[in-house]
A = this chain, B = another copy of it.
Amino acid sequence: MGDKPVKNMDEFAALSGISRPTISKYFNDPNSVRASTRQKIETALAGYDYRPNIYAINQNRRLTKNIGIVVPYLADPFFAEIARMLERRCFEAGFTPSVFSSHGETSNEKAILDTLRSIKPAGVLLAPLGRLSDITYLKDFCADVPTVLFDSNIEGVGAAFIGSDNRSFVSQTIEYMSRTGDAPCLFEMRNPANPNANKRRHAYVEMMKRLGLDPQIVAIDGTGWAFEEIGRQGALKLLRDNLLPTNSVLCSNDRLAIGFLSACHELGIKVGRDAGCTLRLASHDDHPYSRFTCPALTTAAHDYESVSSHAVETLFRLIDAGGKLKRREETLFAARLIMRASA
């Protein structure tokens, strides 16, 4: 990098001995100019401190190179992880990703969509809040901006959805638990905000019936995104009052399970498959912390890699196609069972 600051493209063009339109062409695609020309430009670039004004660029381009990445709750390491992978992939493809978090609130999600409109992004990767989303608002947005949904599906919204196959999660955990011990009851929130939770419940009921077993659902109260605390309080109550129908428990997701384990420890209940343990606990998501819980959580893992790469690829395809796909696509990736000490 050079040090002498250059104000604008005209000045840089003069300094490099190349005309401004060619310089402009170079910055849009370095390979679109002759090799000898590119060489001259890059030599000049090394000697002077010039970078094109991004605002002037975006004002004049019909489409920016911005990509919005929206997650419902960034303080959840699961979403932080996937946002990071999406971000990296967009960046590698020459786009400028920006990460936004709805922080679990409808108003924030809407405000983010407004912000996104104003930055005129080439496309958006959106993991919606789910039940708390303003569906009409999302739909209007997706009608104007090329959008791919991930994690939580909302029927008919966005040009595509990429996520995990909840039936695959549940069938693997149930199969494993019922093979190695009692079949589990399902521990979940009564009114889950996330549509995946509903799909998991349905899959649980269906799978249990198929195995000729009696589905038993334990629903706990609580709202918001503090799942650990909700799981903990719910479990404390259940365990104290001895309301658990089985000694095998399947949590709808790992964050609830983390709270559940916390309650077990407080009450002196040993969890695991070892002798001396009175409870087995499994869960879903393979949350980044699930291997550090006590005991480590047996869980079904998302295929992070596939979800993120396919989501990004789909978005690029959507952008190339001018914002419309022939029909709405839905892609689900299977889970992978991770056996640890808790079940």
Write the residues of chain A forming the contact surface with B, with a CB cutoff of 8 angstroms: 51, 53-56, 58-59, 74-77, 80-81, 83-84, 96, 98-99, 101, 103, 115, 117-120, 228-229, 232, 258-259, 261-262, 264-266, 288-289, 291-296, 341
Additional A-B contacts beyond A74-B99, A99-B99, A228-B289 (13; CB < 8 A): A51-B117, A55-B55, A55-B56, A55-B120, A56-B59, A80-B80, A84-B101, A258-B292, A262-B292, A262-B294, A264-B294, A266-B341, A293-B294
Contact of B53 with A59 in the complex, beta carbons under 8 Å = yes
Nearest-CB residue, chain B, relative to A91: B111
Smallest distance from the beta carbon of A83 to chain B beta carbons, Å?
8
In the complex, which of the residues B53, B75, B84, B229 contacts A77, with contact meaning CB atoms closer than 8 Å?
Answer: B75
Task: Please name all residues of chain B whose beta carbon is closer than 8 Å to the beta carbon of A101 when the two chains form the complex.
Answer: 80, 84, 99
Q: A74-B84, A75-B288, A101-B84 are in contact. Are A51 and B118 (CB under 8 A)?
A: yes
Q: A117-B51, A292-B258, A294-B262 are in contact. Are A103 and B84 (CB under 8 A)?
A: yes
In the complex, which of the residues B54, B115, B288 contacts A119, with contact meaning CB atoms closer than 8 Å?
Answer: B54
Smallest distance from the beta carbon of A167 to chain B beta carbons, Å?
28
Contact of A232 with B80 in the complex, beta carbons under 8 Å = no
Contact of B96 with A115 in the complex, beta carbons under 8 Å = yes
Q: A99-B99, A118-B54 are in contact. Are A289 and B258 (CB under 8 A)?
A: yes
Give the CA-CA distance A288 to B73 in the complex, in Å. Answer: 14
Nearest-CB residue, chain B, relative to A5: B144
A selection of 18 A-B contacts at a CB cut-off of 8 Å is A51-B118, A55-B55, A55-B58, A55-B59, A55-B120, A74-B99, A75-B77, A75-B81, A75-B84, A77-B77, A96-B115, A99-B101, A228-B289, A259-B292, A262-B292, A262-B293, A265-B294, A266-B295
Task: Please name all residues of chain B whose beta carbon is closer than 8 Å to the beta carbon of A74 when the two chains form the complex.
Answer: 74, 80, 83-84, 99
Smallest distance from the beta carbon of A111 to chain B beta carbons, Å?
8
Smallest distance from the beta carbon of A228 to chain B beta carbons, Å?
5
Smallest distance from the beta carbon of A106 to chain B beta carbons, Å?
16
Contact of B75 with A295 in the complex, beta carbons under 8 Å = no
Smallest distance from the beta carbon of A78 to chain B beta carbons, Å?
9
Smallest distance from the beta carbon of A193 to chain B beta carbons, Å?
18
